[in-house]
Amino acid sequence: MGIETIHHPRLLEVRLTRPEKKNALTLDMYTLLINTLEDAARSDDIRAVLISGAGESFCAGNDIADFLAGGDNLESLAPVVRFLHTLVDFPKPLLAAVQGDTVGIGTTLLLHCDLVIAADDLRCCLPFTRLGLVPEGGSSFLLPQMIGQRKAFELLIEGAPFDARTALDAGLVNQIVPRPELEAVSLQRAQALTELPPDAMALSKQLLRGHQKEQLHRVIDQEVEHFAARLSSAEARAAFTAFLKAG
């Protein structure tokens, strides 16, 4: 189904497992991610979650063919919306280990993580405008907050790919490591978090992020409304057709 869960001591690793599609997310995968994160939030045995991707890429964004088959209305995007709200509300440390192509939701997902370890071959891209769409995942709120409006415009609107060093400078990732060391370093940092007092850690995360949660939920809903409307636009249809032909 594209998702694998790996249990480490007090740590749950959630691995995207569609390497042949660069781990592009389907609607079914969103539902699996929601259920996995909700279960992890309730479990006393899990103190942190690490999201990783199998193969050469972390996540190439949404599976466009799957999305078009699912429809182009707001209701069809319900799993995506619920997943994004689940990220905002997740109470425990959320980490990501990222490598290779990290596109669209693959990149905006990082905005919701507490720690991100990147391989030196990371290639991020936010191609929403190029696809006739609008930013999602709360990125229109979180990215300008992190790097300023002008730099956020460059990444979100111009949509040019950027590398690991740019991601580090922008605050999207915490650390860059050689590709062969990504798994070991990510697990090491995640395991170290699980050794901290869990209640103090959860409260500290709430203090860091809680003041913006209500606004972030609103922004995500606004973005998705525009995103759903854009899916049926002539611009988006032309871009999707060109993308699928090229693929």
Q: How far is CA 218 from the centre of its chain?
A: 18
> CATH: 3.40.190.10, 3.40.50.1220, 3.60.21.10, 3.90.226.10. Which one for 3-180?
3.90.226.10
In tens, the pLDDT along 155-180 reads: 999 999 999 999 999 999 999 999 99
Q: How does DSSP classify residue 25?
A: B
Choice among 84-88, 180-184, 226-230 with the minimum mean pLDDT: 226-230
Tell me the C-alpha distance between 125 and 103, whole Å. Answer: 5
Q: Cα-atom radius of gyration of the chain, to the nearest Å?
A: 17
In sequence order, the β-bridge partners of residue 4 are: 15
Q: Is the pLDDT of residue 57 over 70?
A: yes
CB 126 within 8 A of CB 146: no
In tens, the pLDDT along 211-236 reads: 999 999 999 999 999 998 998 889 98
Domain boundaries, the chain: 3-180
What is the model's pTM? Answer: 0.95
CB 55 within 8 A of CB 19: yes
